[in-house]
Structure 1
Amino acid sequence: MKLVSVMEGDSVSLNSGLTEITDDDVIQWMFGDGNTLIAEINKRADRFTVYDDVLDGRFRDRLKLDNQTGSLTITNTTTEDTGEFEVQINHLKEFLFLDVIVVFNPKETYVSVMEGDSVTLNPGLIKISDDLIQWWFGNNVIAEINVTADRFTVYDDVLDGRFRDRLKLDNQTGSLTITNTTTEDDGDYQLQILRTSIIFNLNIYARLPVPVISRDCSSSSSNCSLVCSVVNVSHVTLSWYAGMSVLSSISASDLSISLSLPLEVEYQDKNTYSCVLNNPISNQTTHLDINTLCRHTCEGTTALILVDVSADISVY
């Protein structure tokens, strides 16, 4: 029994084992427990026939015979094609088992996680059946499954031990889990199975600091001048809100920098203001208490007062 694996939707060729059909050859392809005849070659009669309407038309318009070797190709495979195929050549029989593997994820998947959390890269396999599955990070194999040898291996000492004691393989689905993530784990992870590669683009976001609202005593404005600031941040946006409306915002690129955003309010302003720092998966919010922060003038003092600060973190 030969095992043949293919991704759902791909084409697969079942090899007859012949390099060339002779004039006297009779080749029959059968499928399933009932040995249903699905294709036949009678070279003597010069007849090449596919019976793709059998089994309720399961193989309709998806079977093709090679008139040189007698191999059978199945296009646009589905899980219903999984099973035992028998090729009979002049009364000699050979058996092949076709396993159509289901992958729920597309060829590229974007995954985001907060630094320090664990993340599982799941290829969506129902089961592992191919002989060799490899996980790559950059140019390095970091995990490998060898079904034939029943071996599940993580190579967590590569890249100067960056992943040491932080990789785990699922022996049922082939999923790779990375624990205690760091920003160094950010990048593309590639799963190679059969002739297909599934790429996971992993983004690791640092935990956000709470934005600080302070009085700007250097301003000559007659209003209350404020500034919201954060330090050592990247891939974030800092914004002032009045209620649910954005008043102003500033963003940081991939470099770790400090951000500050000014705001002027009247001393008797009754609106609700907040300063929000956010990245694609979380945010931190500080609410402004005008009565407390703007109550005293800046004359003769450089003291900054910060009160009524609350943080709100949400991950989705």
Structure 2
Amino acid sequence: MVRNMKNLIVRVFFLFFANGVFGFETDGVKSISVMEGDSVTLHMCLNQIQKYEKILWKFENTLIAQFDKASQTFSTKDGNDGRFRNRLELNTESGSLTIRNIRTNHSGVYKVDMISTSGSSNRRFNVTVIGVFDPDAEKIKPVSAKEGESVTLNTNFNVQKDDLMVWNFGRATKHCVYNPLHHVPCQSDVSAIAKIDGETREVSLDAGDSEMFSNRLKMDKLTGSLTITNSRPEHSGFYILQISNNNGTKYRRFNVTVSAITKSHSHVVWMSIAIVLLLMVALWCLAVGFKNWRNRNFLLGKLRSYTCCQSTGAQQQPDYFPPSDNTPLPVLIL
């Protein structure tokens, strides 16, 4: 009973995660989820920087960046434990703060204080970094393919009865921007595209945004390996496999690149074909012309020979002389 409850909780968690709840607002706090290794930009209210004299960014009440409009000076800090070293970028035009190459220890509440002579206001962000670089995870495996080919992402193990395996897809972007005006999720949000339950061996497939994976996904029931058939450049991106069981959760990450057949490449192919055809036609014309030239020379040679004989007065006796009127006709004796 306890084991079934654990499995149920794990499944509910992953189904919730797979639905892509990555950008929402609760009690005035903007919640953002981002994959580990990506970058995230936290914005102030749009077009609000002109109203304030000083901008202060804090992480868990620790100052990490500031901008003074009067002196036009700004600075970023590494944090008490140096976790933000070489990772922060403050935009002095918009006041937005970017965290590059984010890690799980950057999860937490970020607060921006906007101070002016007439008063102050603040905005808070709750950032959650989804870890994919856990100690048990394999390194990111690069996979390359040409447009139209099939791509198979191998798990290299068999699905166990208590396994819940979920394949997630994220765009190949390294810059996640949260838009405070439209409250849209980060551009690098991941979405579930395939799932298998080890207990029932049931496979679920999702065509994804804009039906980009429609009739293209296959999931092996024995290994959980994922195959994308008839791949396209829009299928390039990060594929993250989550494996959850009673022992915990593990991840496998693949960086897939599908090379497009560019117009320039197709033009080169067609130009090459055209050149080959032109060469073949030219060779054929040359062969026909050479043959006609030989025949012409042969006929001219015959004509010259006949003319030469006529000019030298040589008389050739014909093998047959037609009878004259006075010549008696031969009599045939039977």
Computing the radius of gyration over CA atoms, which structure comes out larger, 1 or 2? 2
Q: Normalized per residue, which structure has more helix?
A: 2
Q: Give the TM-score normalised by structure 1.
A: 0.40
Q: Normalized per residue, which structure has more strand?
A: 1
Q: Give the TM-score normalised by structure 2.
A: 0.38
